[in-house]
Structure 1
Amino acid sequence: MTPNKDWFESYTKVDGGQVLLGNNKLWMIVGIGIVRNKTHDGVERTLIEEYKKMEYITSVNQWNKKKLQFLGKLGVIESIKTKLGARLMSIFKKGSLGHLLDLKITPMNALVHHMVLRTLESGDDELKYMVNDHVFSFGLKEFSIIMGLKTKIDPSIESMTFKRGSIWTNLFLENKLVTKKQLEETFIKYDGCDEDLLLKLARLHLVENFLLGSQPTKVIEKKHIDMVDNYFVFDDYHWGRVSFDLTFKGLKKAPHRTSDGGNYPVDGCAIALQIFAFEIIGTTHIYANKIGDQIPRITNWSSTEQQTFENISTKVFQAPNVSLFQMIPTDEEMRKSYMVEFRDVEFNEEIQEEAGQSSKAEYNFDISELLRQNEKLLKQNEKILRQNDRLESEINDMKRIICAIHKKFFEDNLEKNKSNTNVSSARRTAEAQTYDQEEPMEVYLVWVKDESPIMTSPSPLQQEPAEVQIEVEIEEQATTVEGKEQENIEQQVEIEEQSAAIVEQEHQQEQENIETQFQILKKKKKRSKECTQEKRK
């Protein structure tokens, strides 16, 4: 009881009469609600109101020390961490299931068994537990807060059809059906070099044998095996809802199995109920350590030792001054994408307004950054244009030099060809006259090497070595200059395209900013009008 109304998380006005407090002062009861407070560990919790006495499904005189069996095995996580190693684990953790590899808890079967014994008659969508005359609800919302998994169904994924993927073709080719035990054995024995296939096996193993735990002989849905080949579909699937549905069925049947002989198994991921007990029962902290305040809450707890049924009874549920807390999601948790189903209209509007202000800040930052980039690109463009002009001038000079060299080579060879032609004609005339004389005469034959045969164009093999080298170097330089010119032209075109894209992006963001501001002003005007009407009333 308190006179401070602002302490209440929820508040309902009532005409409840009067109450006498410890100072013998009479107070009027004006409302009943739920109070939020901060405990010694700095965590904000909410004290709940006390409910009337209700009956357990399992009668108290039938309570026993039977052991509950988790079919969603935590050992799966350790086997995955051992098999993958540090590098592949870092890849695995980037997905929506990655945070589950950070769990530091051990199953406390006796604690969950105590919770099962305290189960009340429940509906079709949530379970109710009564602890020391206080009733707690455990439904899809609480499961999502604990596990941090998506629960909203995506119709586009549900309507997809999948072909048989690499796991079928590489590992289960001869099997028409695959059981959970076969999957676990295949994962443990796999020693291939295909890392992608190993990651797919690890994801499927975590889902089937931890989140969807059941008997080892249970056949795995073919859709799940086919889906794992499509990473984005598998990662965005509503595994939270599928796991909760199976866990809900297992926990709902559990109270009816406590009177059977031997231990009783629970399908699904019953470890979530253990974390739920840590959150709502303060005395469980003697066996569990809160190691952080992260999201989701399953990563905040560590426990290393199993406890007996008697220890849990005396030190947790029968301890003096047992503190109980309602598990209420924080605003930060409600902003997570997997909590979208549980937000009310006002909270969604608040998130949209914050998103609009955030986009405005990002818009201003992006514009200034884009302007700086645009100015930098313009300077680069001017520099490239100047280089292009200089290279074009050098190319023209090279062309003139090459033309002059070719002209000189042609004129020199033409003169040599004319001289050689005259010498050859004189030689042939002298020989003809010698053969025509009647009296023999001594003839001395002298072989003259013809160094310059008649030719219409100079042969590359007969050019002067220095001149050939000069021409080749000039042609190579001209080719290099032409290549640079083409590269500069391509860079200029690319810069112009980037500038056009920046201008278009600026225009689009400006339009979005105007639309966002218009929506905010519209809402403010509506709120102002409502406030005015309330004041008039």
Structure 2
Amino acid sequence: MFRDSPFGLFLDLPTLKVQPQLLRSLMYAETDHDRDDMFIMKVNGKLLHFGIREFAIITGLKCGMDSEFVSDPDSSNRLMTRYFNGQTKVPKTMLVSLFIDFKENKSLIEDGDVFKIALLYFISTFLFSTQSNVAFVTKLHFDLVESGEYMNYPWGNVCFKNLLSSISHKLVNKPTYYRFGGFPLAIQVWFYECCSKVDPTVAKRIGNGIPRIFNWQTTSNTVYFNHLKTGMFKTYSNPVILQANYFSYINNTHFIHCFYYNANWSASTCIFVGSCFLPTFLRKRELSTFSTRGFGR
């Protein structure tokens, strides 16, 4: 069942772990900009832009038009009532405990709800990776899973915004600590893709497909900030060439305003429109809605 969900593609994800010191390096490289729709940094003399289109191609998560689904705060949710005493805000720790304890005690979750609880666990711990002891699972997520509308929901939009808000301009006041939200693997893998070569002690390329997140595998090494500072991020004599306009084959004038990415893309299921790489399942009326809105550089 999970493989048939919008998240089934991640069952085939190679070994990837978040590298906090690489993310920290990217945050130190952030420029002084006022854009709220992208993360802009300068590495080795090149400006790099990480926006929603980069996020979509890296992750394969559905992005595009916002959902019209409404979660009624005054109505109850069956899953919240059945497993969490009807709490209006469910701590992520409670969901994690239920899921883990179920492995030892199968009676904790009814057969018809196992898949739904698994979905909530995945969404809360993988797509929204804030530490479990400081976060809650929203009623919206419970309602989406219970109603089945999670299948159509643009998870990429929300994950991207969550990630962006957790890393943008967060080092200005020199905090003693910070937390990464959303889906930090997206910007991490995107940076690999921008580099002419990646330090083999950090990650290695294992493919060249879409979504791009399947192209990389992190090593078992601990990646230190000083190692990156004197290597991939060093200011002078840096051999790493950055592609300043990564994904430039997607021309802004041919970028679809309402776009969706599918894990099963291949050469046989995709077409070129101008310089834009699109899946063939997009209908003609959808192709007529190309817009540069929100994707300017």
Give the structure-2-normalised TM-score. Answer: 0.75
The aligned residue for residue 101 of structure 2 is 189
- Cα distance in 2 for partners of 1:256, 1:101 equals 37
The aligned residue for residue 119 of structure 1 is 30
Tell me the CA shift for residue 224 of structure 1: 1.3
Q: Do the aligned partners of residues 278 and 345 (structure 1) sit closer, same or farther apart at CA in structure 2, a change above 3 Å counting?
A: closer
AA at the equivalent of 1:110: Q
The aligned residue for residue 212 of structure 2 is 297
- Cα distance in 2 for partners of 1:306, 1:339 equals 32
- Cα distance in 1 for partners of 2:211, 2:281 equals 25
Bigger relative CO (Cα 8 Å, ≥ 6 apart): 2
- Cα distance in 2 for partners of 1:339, 1:329 equals 17
AA at the equivalent of 2:17: T
Contact 2:27–2:169 (CA under 8 A) maintained in structure 1? no
Larger helix percent:
1
AA at the equivalent of 1:268: G
- Cα distance in 1 for partners of 2:87, 2:38 equals 38
Contact 2:71–2:143 (CA under 8 A) maintained in structure 1? no
Corresponding position: 1:180 with 2:96 = no
Corresponding position: 1:94 with 2:4 = yes
AA at the equivalent of 1:243: C
- Cα distance in 1 for partners of 2:127, 2:167 equals 14
The aligned residue for residue 271 of structure 1 is 185
AA at the equivalent of 1:202: A
Query: For structure 1, which runs of at least 5 residues remain unmatched after alignment?
Result: 1-90, 357-537
Corresponding position: 1:324 with 2:242 = yes
- Cα distance in 2 for partners of 1:160, 1:181 equals 22
**Among 206, 222, 237, the residue aligned to 2:153:** 237
- Cα distance in 2 for partners of 1:283, 1:345 equals 30
Contact 1:187–1:205 (CA under 8 A) maintained in structure 2? yes
- Cα distance in 2 for partners of 1:236, 1:154 equals 10
Q: Do the aligned partners of residues 355 and 140 (structure 1) sit closer, same or farther apart at CA in structure 2, a change above 3 Å counting?
A: closer
- Cα distance in 2 for partners of 1:181, 1:118 equals 34
Q: Aligned with 2:242: secondary structure?
A: coil
RMSD: 3.3
Q: How does 1:324-363 map to 2 (within 5 A)?
A: 324-325=242-243, 326-328=245-247, 338=260
AA at the equivalent of 1:260: P
Q: Do the aligned partners of residues 256 and 183 (structure 1) sit closer, same or farther apart at CA in structure 2, a change above 3 Å counting?
A: farther
Contact 1:292–1:300 (CA under 8 A) maintained in structure 2? yes
Contact 1:144–1:240 (CA under 8 A) maintained in structure 2? yes
Tell me the CA shift for residue 182 of structure 1: 1.6
- Cα distance in 1 for partners of 2:114, 2:280 equals 40
Tell me the CA shift for residue 315 of structure 1: 2.6
The aligned residue for residue 148 of structure 1 is 60
- Cα distance in 2 for partners of 1:351, 1:278 equals 24
Contact 2:64–2:259 (CA under 8 A) maintained in structure 1? no
Q: Aligned with 1:256: secondary structure?
A: coil
Tell me the CA shift for residue 120 of structure 1: 0.5
Query: For structure 2, which runs of at least 5 residues remain unmatched after alignment?
Result: 263-271, 285-297
- Cα distance in 2 for partners of 1:294, 1:183 equals 34
Q: Kindly name which structure, 1 or 2, has the bigger radius of gyration based on alpha carbons.
A: 1
Q: Do the aligned partners of residues 345 and 303 (structure 1) sit closer, same or farther apart at CA in structure 2, a change above 3 Å counting?
A: closer
Tell me the CA shift for residue 102 of structure 1: 2.7
**Among 293, 307, 310, the residue aligned to 2:226:** 310
Q: Do the aligned partners of residues 184 and 351 (structure 1) sit closer, same or farther apart at CA in structure 2, a change above 3 Å counting?
A: closer
Q: Aligned with 1:229: secondary structure?
A: helix
The aligned residue for residue 224 of structure 1 is 141
- Cα distance in 1 for partners of 2:216, 2:147 equals 32
Q: Do the aligned partners of residues 249 and 268 (structure 1) sit closer, same or farther apart at CA in structure 2, a change above 3 Å counting?
A: same
- Cα distance in 2 for partners of 1:172, 1:354 equals 41
The runs of at least 4 consecutive aligned structure 1 residues that moved more than 6 Å come to 350-356
AA at the equivalent of 2:164: F
- Cα distance in 2 for partners of 1:337, 1:125 equals 16
Q: Do the aligned partners of residues 239 and 307 (structure 1) sit closer, same or farther apart at CA in structure 2, a change above 3 Å counting?
A: same
Q: How does 1:59-74 map to 2 (within 5 A)?
A: none
Aligned residues: 257
Tell me the CA shift for residue 290 of structure 1: 1.2
AA at the equivalent of 2:20: N
Give the structure-1-normalised TM-score. Answer: 0.43
